[in-house]
Structure 1
Amino acid sequence: MTDPDSRWLVPVADVPRHELVPRWWERDGSGAWELRDGPSDPEAWAEAAYADRSLVTRVGPLHADQAEPDDRPEGRPTSSATLPSLVVRMLRHGRLGDGLSLLDLGTGAGGLAAYACYRLGDACVTSLDVDPYLVRAAGERLADMHCYPTLITADATREVPGTYDRIVSTVALTPGPGLRPVVGALAYGGRIATTLARTSLIITGWKDRHGDVIGQVERDMAGFMPTRSGADHPPALTDLLTLARQAHGEHTSTGRYPVVDVGNAWELRSMLEVTLPGVELDYETNGHQRTAYLAHPDGSWARASAERTDPPEVHQSGPQRLWDALERIRNRLNAEGALPLLGARVRLTPDGVVHLSRGRWRASMGAR
């Protein structure tokens, strides 16, 4: 997970990751969340902790540390211990250096903070999370490893105390007002590395004297949970996705391309979010039948279903034709061989708006 000549090899090797994740959630055979307790099965604990994989530590508002063995929480993951190789990649994108202050945005289980403390020293590292329990638990476990970063409990979409030479975020930031405090916390001349919510785009850049962050979309991708302000993520567009499963649709057509699991087609998913911010997805298979669902906060929805790779039957309703928008993106990908995202220039303005450009292509995210 770490190159033999990497300066991060020793920190990763020295951090006892299992101590940061004594309990975690895994999907069982039916897809339900099942609690795993490390101390009761040391062999499985070590195997999970030292594999290069993310471990889900919180589902909805229920942390694994606080759960009972028969608990079966429902909802989306809200915190995890990120896989070590991805943590190292984000740290590399952050261009850390001796004596530079670092904000670890999204404490989680404390893995990034631990690596950074080992590499940079405690005095250079601040770690922030919205969840008081996560901050407290990570702080206690880090202290047992003799790591003492500054720990802050705060909602980064509203306030980020202090200023920092480097910000590395392992939560996905939402362009617009919620990104403004993070941009404001970056020191002039400082560098940020983050992903954007509902995309897999890694954004890096340097803050200039005017307060803009100038950089690029890295030719690298990652998926992180979006920032949240409360105990859980806002409710998904459940009613609209249910409607998409059942309704006939105002507009019916035959799609041009096979049904795709958009959520796992990272570049398509990212371009869809850039084009139509806020789209939520679902996907299911039934034998050889594949069905994709899209829903937008404005009330638009789409359903596309087909056997294997046959042209799908598409149902759509609402003010926007979501599947048509996705097919335009896929058509561009097929015609040009690539989408303009990876390698695009980025400008983050102090108001939190993300401006993207590549050649003649332009897009903005978060503008009102």
Structure 2
Amino acid sequence: MPTEPEIETPAAGLRRQLADRLEKDGRLRSREWRAAVGAVPRHAFVPRFYRESDVPGVTTWEPVTPETVGQEEWLGLVYTDETWVTQFDSRDIDWSDPQPVSNATPTSSSTLPSLVVRMLDDLDVHEGMHVLEIGTGTGYSTALMCHRLGSEAVTSIETDEGVARRAREALAGSGYTPHLFVGDGRAGHLDGAPYDRLIATCGFRNIPPAWLEQVLPGGVILTTLRGWMRSLGLVKLIVTGDSANGWFSEDEPSFMIARQQDAPESLGVLPGPDDGTERRATYGPGVLTSSGPAFMAQLAAPDVRSFSMAVDGGPVSTFVLDSVTDSFAVLVPVDSGWQVRQGGPRRLWDAVESAVATWEVYGSPSTAAFGLTVSRDAQVVWLGNPNGPQWPLPS
């Protein structure tokens, strides 16, 4: 590993270039955050990482270190606007002999800087404020906040002990000493409350009640919401005592889901060929993957996952399974359309089609047309205004 003096001179130039690009693209909009991007050494927080290989076939990630690709290429990649994976399947990587990784799920990463600074800008912080960060990760975004507000003003929680340890070492080595804790981010950190701002860098299925209790009235909660199929997107809430209201962003960033809310391993019970009742489907399985309709499908069926496969040599069918209620829908291609077979306590495809149809009636709007109201009793996503069409988040 090259020494810090050998790295810092080229790294400083690369940081300025990164800040220039982010500013030109409209992502870096304040001199304070520009100063932070120009000062915080991202290479200290991602000294080694994985990038996705371009080899066709099974998705494979290849290790990137100064030793594997050379210092110049490694450092150049560190300061590009890319997300770099730093952990798979919640297990530490043996960096003494890093190998390509396949058939694995990324569980920690350094998020692309443009999204990091966009979220920090949306957080609307000012001198003297205290911030709670959920998901320390590599510590890079934590360091940016420390540079902007001072280390004493920043508290960060990470659920993974190994990830937290590496972040703590990188932060200390870069001169930052925020309040760092290992635990379940849904509980926040009561001892440091109240906070003026709360930012989450992993996805949640709902807003944890503890966050409302620990953020001051008038304070901001900024987080991504997601389900087991996809991300719903970034939402910014203003806290008003024991409730909060706000709007989704135009963008639809997708963060890894909080580990405590990850989907169960079992997809649910596969239906038999004669289970359920059939009808002609208005929409086919494409609504599960196209941006706007998929957003609606996730709202309508928050506990659902789907997959496609051929059954007994027949056509490829799409299975939509709800492991919470054991409800199901199976979509089978027929002449110029789709047939759906549904069963269980919920008619899943009825709910999905109703939500997509509502979205179309309202002009197929972007996520920025949706808002969220959170109270002690319910959490509801609405379209247009709080009295518009509504979909509850899972409790």
TM range (shorter): 0.7 to 0.9
Moved beyond 4 Å, runs of 4+: 65-68, 70-75, 246-249, 289-292
1:312 is paired with a residue of what secondary structure?
A: strand
Is structure 2 residue 388 aligned with structure 1 residue 360? yes
1:167 is paired with a residue of what secondary structure?
A: strand
Is structure 2 residue 244 aligned with structure 1 residue 213? yes
Give the alignment's Cα RMSD to 1 decimal. Answer: 3.2
Task: State which structure, 1 or 2, has the greater radius of gyration over its C-alpha atoms.
Answer: 2
Tell me which residue corresponds to 2:35: 10
Is structure 2 residue 76 aligned with structure 1 residue 51? no
Q: 1:336 and 1:343, CA in 2 relative to 1: closer, same or farther beyond 3 A? A: closer
In the TM superposition, what is the alpha-carbon distance from 1:223 to its structure 2 partner? 1.3
Contact 1:184/1:350, CA 8 A, preserved across alignment: no
The CA distance in 1 between the partners of 2:210 and 2:157, in whole Å, is 13
Superposition pairs for residues 168-207 of structure 1, below 5 Å? Answer: 168-175=199-206, 179-198=208-227, 199-207=231-239
Tell me which residue corresponds to 1:112: 141
The CA distance in 2 between the partners of 1:116 and 1:65, in whole Å, is 30
Tell me which residue corresponds to 2:12: none
Superposition pairs for residues 207-246 of structure 1, below 5 Å? Answer: 207-208=239-240, 210-229=241-260, 233-238=262-267, 240=269, 243=270
The CA distance in 2 between the partners of 1:65 and 1:193, in whole Å, is 34
The aligned length equals 353
The CA distance in 1 between the partners of 2:201 and 2:95, in whole Å, is 23
In the TM superposition, what is the alpha-carbon distance from 1:59 to its structure 2 partner? 2.0
Higher helix share: 2
Gaps in structure 1 of 5+ consecutive residues: none
In the TM superposition, what is the alpha-carbon distance from 1:129 to its structure 2 partner? 0.9
1:273 to 259, 277, 298: 298
Superposition pairs for residues 1-368 of structure 1, below 5 Å? Answer: 2-4=22-24, 5-7=29-31, 8-28=33-53, 29-39=56-66, 40-42=68-70, 43-64=72-93, 69-70=98-99, 72=101, 74-161=103-190, 162-163=192-193, 164-175=195-206, 179-198=208-227, 199-208=231-240, 210-229=241-260, 233-238=262-267, 240=269, 243=270, 250-260=276-286, 262=288, 264-282=289-307, 292-297=318-323, 298-304=325-331, 306=333, 310-338=336-364, 342-350=368-376, 353-357=378-382, 358=385, 359-367=387-395
Q: 1:281 and 1:80, CA in 2 relative to 1: closer, same or farther beyond 3 A? A: farther
In the TM superposition, what is the alpha-carbon distance from 1:193 to its structure 2 partner? 0.7
In the TM superposition, what is the alpha-carbon distance from 1:274 to its structure 2 partner? 2.6
Higher relative contact order (CA 8 A, sep 6+): 1
Sequence identity (%) = 26
The CA distance in 2 between the partners of 1:366 and 1:186, in whole Å, is 22
Summarize deviations over 1:199-223 as a string: whole Å, max 9, x none: 3232212222x32223233333221
Task: Please report the TM-score for the alignment, with normalisation by the length of structure 1.
Answer: 0.82
Gaps in structure 2 of 5+ consecutive residues: 1-20
Contact 1:237/1:280, CA 8 A, preserved across alignment: no
Q: Partner amino acid for 1:196?
A: L
Tell me which residue corresponds to 2:10: none
Q: 1:366 and 1:116, CA in 2 relative to 1: closer, same or farther beyond 3 A? A: same
Q: 1:360 and 1:247, CA in 2 relative to 1: closer, same or farther beyond 3 A? A: same
1:257 is paired with a residue of what secondary structure?
A: coil
